[in-house]
Structure 1
Amino acid sequence: MKWSELKVHTTNEAIEPISNILHESGASGVVIEDPQDLHKLDDVTLFGTIYELDPSDYPDEGVYVKAYLPVNSFLGETVDEIKQAISNLDKYDIDIGKNNVTISEVNEEEWATAWKKYYKPVKISEKITIIPTWEEYTPVSSDEIIIELDPGMAFGTGTHPTTVLSIQALEQYVKEGDVIYDVGSGSGVLSIAAALLGAKRIKAFDLDEIAVKSTTINVKLNRVQDQVEAQHNNLLENVELGADLIVSNILAEIIVQFVDEAYEKVNAGGYFITSGIIQGKKDLVKEKLTQAGFKILEVNQMEDWISIVAQKPE
């Protein structure tokens, strides 16, 4: 089978919504080429990634979001719909940058193997390392927690700054026996992390059926299916009260839509961890959290992304 590689030259802010558009259009895999990744090996930090990257693959500014679509009679129509959907993001005050879309053809063998170079074991917090299913990896410490992911499920590698910030917050605030709601679960990586950190019961909600399937597969892969239940659901609609912690790694514009519901659903003394927030939307989310009654405990930043940890007073 022949595949078409669709490349969008855009901004960091637009990565998540554009990726979602591509997934919904039938993309069988997404690759993010961010020039900031080229400098991560130069940073001396506590956590590290094994990269095999070619600088010539990366733009001088902005990012490339690449998707792979089967070459068929509907390809032209699909590409036109993708272009229109991306252009419509302007209506939501999302900076889409140059929004230059190009198409090239690749054969299946090249696509099936070449993208794996972007995905290696990554230590993203004090305890947690994420590895792809095909990689051999030996833990370096006795308390290291390993999460296996299959990025072929099209929801990323779990190493985007918004995900890293979320997992680092979970590592700090999850307690043994907690009940947790993961709103916008995607690959399920946050739910899996919470389970491996000791949470008793996690409900993973996503409006996208593909995400629910992806979460279910990755949950089984990590043997935490007794703790994590993936459900098709719109945010926290019709969800019962009683979460000890709610975590949500989605766009700021979506987070502010259900802050009041999160305050209602979480137990007194419980936490609301939000991520996926660009720098320019930080104050909007903080203000909404405070208005709902939450106390802001932490505001953390990685690259251009923000996460906020809030608590409902006792």
Structure 2
Amino acid sequence: MKWSEISIHTTNEAVEPILNILYEAGASGAVIEDSFERMKVRENQYGEIYELNPEDYPEEGVIIKAYLPVTSFLGETVEEIKTAINNLILYDIDLGKNKVTISEVNEEEWATAWKKYYNPVKISKHFTIVPTWEDYQPVDTDELIIELDPGMAFGTGTHPTTVMSIQALEQTVKPGDVVFDVGTGSGVLSIAAALLKAGKVLALDLDEIAVTSAKLNIKLNKVHDVVTVKQNNLLDGIDEKANVIVANLLAEIIIRFSKDAYRSLEKDGYFIASGIINLKRKEVEDALQDANFVIHETLLMEDWVTIIAKKR
């Protein structure tokens, strides 16, 4: 089979929503080339640091590469992707250069090209993200391993918003807690909550393909006895209460359902709001406080913000 590589030159702010658009369009596998990675000073805080090749990264902004099968409908699919990306402007998302290019790759190139970007990465005190094809042995006895296949669902769990969400879960989840993961995507946050000994995790996503991918990753990590995946629009129709709610979504969506999150939490429960670009931080904080939350802690990484809010 032949594959078409779609390359989108955009901004860090637009990465998550564009990945979702590509995901829904049926893309298989994705690569994020972030210019910031070339300049970032890496402290050896959690484990091994890998040397990066500057030629793999753009001079500015972010390049997202995804792979679509070459079919008779490819042209229409690409046009739909372009239109959906352009519509993100309606949500005040900066698209940067917004340059889209298409090139053809064969099966062998597609199968191996993107794997060079992914290595085991220790992202927090306890968690290490490991691609499924890597033979990785834990370094510490208390190390928690999350296995992900980026060809099965977008992301390796190393994007700043995901890393901070997992670090926030480490701070807030206690054994036996009920956790809601709203907009679960690949299911990585639900897996993390289960490995932190949550008693029950409810993973919610509106997208049917995301639900399928989350179920596969959750089964791969052997936490399907704790995690239930459900197709659902945010917290609509969810009557149960949680001790912790985590949502790695767009700032606008977090603002929209912050009052529902408050309603769905037990007393002294935590709402972890992530996926927030720094420019939107004040808007989200105002919405959370308006919903009667107290800002418990704010995590910062690059240009991203994760807010841990507590129910009064």
TM norm structure 2:
0.97
- 2:287 alignment counterpart: 288
Q: Distance in 1 between matches of 2:299 and 2:270?
A: 15
Q: Given that residues 180 and 245 in structure 1 are in contact (C-alpha distance below 8 angstroms), is that contact kept between their aligned partners in structure 2?
A: yes
- 1:21 alignment counterpart: 21
Deviation at residue 273 of structure 1 after TM alignment: 0.4
Q: Where does structure 2 lack aligned partners over 5 or more consecutive residues?
A: none
Q: Given that residues 50 and 120 in structure 1 are in contact (C-alpha distance below 8 angstroms), is that contact kept between their aligned partners in structure 2?
A: no
- 1:193 pairs with 2:207: no
- Look up the equivalent residue of 1:186 and give its one-letter code: G
CA deviations on 1:2-24 (whole Å, 9 max, x unpaired) are 11111000000000111111111
Q: Distance in 1 between matches of 2:99 and 2:228?
A: 39
- 2:157 alignment counterpart: 158
Q: Distance in 2 between matches of 1:7 and 1:48?
A: 31
Q: 1:285 to 1:97 in 2, by over 3 A?
A: same
- Look up the equivalent residue of 2:273 and give its one-letter code: T
- Look up the equivalent residue of 1:148 and give its one-letter code: E
Q: Distance in 2 between matches of 1:65 and 1:49?
A: 25
- Look up the equivalent residue of 1:116 and give its one-letter code: K
Q: Given that residues 33 and 56 in structure 2 are in contact (C-alpha distance below 8 angstroms), is that contact kept between their aligned partners in structure 1?
A: yes
Which deviates the most, 7-16 or 240-249? Answer: 240-249
Q: 1:49 to 1:247 in 2, by over 3 A?
A: farther
Q: Distance in 1 between matches of 2:67 and 2:135?
A: 26
Q: 1:38 to 1:47 in 2, by over 3 A?
A: farther
SS state of the match for residue 104, structure 1? strand
- 2:248 alignment counterpart: 249
CA deviations on 1:213-268 (whole Å, 9 max, x unpaired) are 11111111111111000000000000023200100001001111100000001001
SS state of the match for residue 20, structure 1? helix
- 1:32 alignment counterpart: 32
CA deviations on 1:38-68 (whole Å, 9 max, x unpaired) are 344x422413465464312221110001111
Name the % identity: 65
Q: Distance in 2 between matches of 1:43 and 1:53?
A: 11
- 1:277 alignment counterpart: 276
Q: Distance in 1 between matches of 2:90 and 2:150?
A: 30
SS state of the match for residue 180, structure 2? strand
Q: Distance in 1 between matches of 2:285 and 2:29?
A: 34
CA deviations on 1:272-293 (whole Å, 9 max, x unpaired) are 0010000010011100000111
- 2:213 alignment counterpart: 214
- Look up the equivalent residue of 1:134 and give its one-letter code: W
Q: Distance in 1 between matches of 2:223 and 2:64?
A: 31
Deviation at residue 198 of structure 1 after TM alignment: 1.1
Q: Distance in 1 between matches of 2:288 and 2:211?
A: 27
TM norm structure 1:
0.97
1:1-314 alignment, distance < 5 Å? 1-40=1-40, 42-48=41-47, 50-51=49-50, 53-313=52-312
Q: Given that residues 251 and 275 in structure 2 are in contact (C-alpha distance below 8 angstroms), is that contact kept between their aligned partners in structure 1?
A: yes
Which deviates the most, 303-312 or 69-78? Answer: 69-78
Q: How many residues end up aligned between the 2 structures?
A: 312
The 4+ residue runs of structure 1 with deviation greater than 6 A are: none
Deviation at residue 76 of structure 1 after TM alignment: 1.3
SS state of the match for residue 258, structure 1? helix
- Look up the equivalent residue of 2:118 and give its one-letter code: Y
Q: Distance in 2 between matches of 1:210 and 1:246?
A: 22
- Look up the equivalent residue of 2:93 and give its one-letter code: I
Deviation at residue 113 of structure 1 after TM alignment: 1.1
Q: 1:50 to 1:116 in 2, by over 3 A?
A: farther
Q: Distance in 2 between matches of 1:227 and 1:183?
A: 16
Q: Given that residues 274 and 307 in structure 1 are in contact (C-alpha distance below 8 angstroms), is that contact kept between their aligned partners in structure 2?
A: yes
Deviation at residue 154 of structure 1 after TM alignment: 2.6
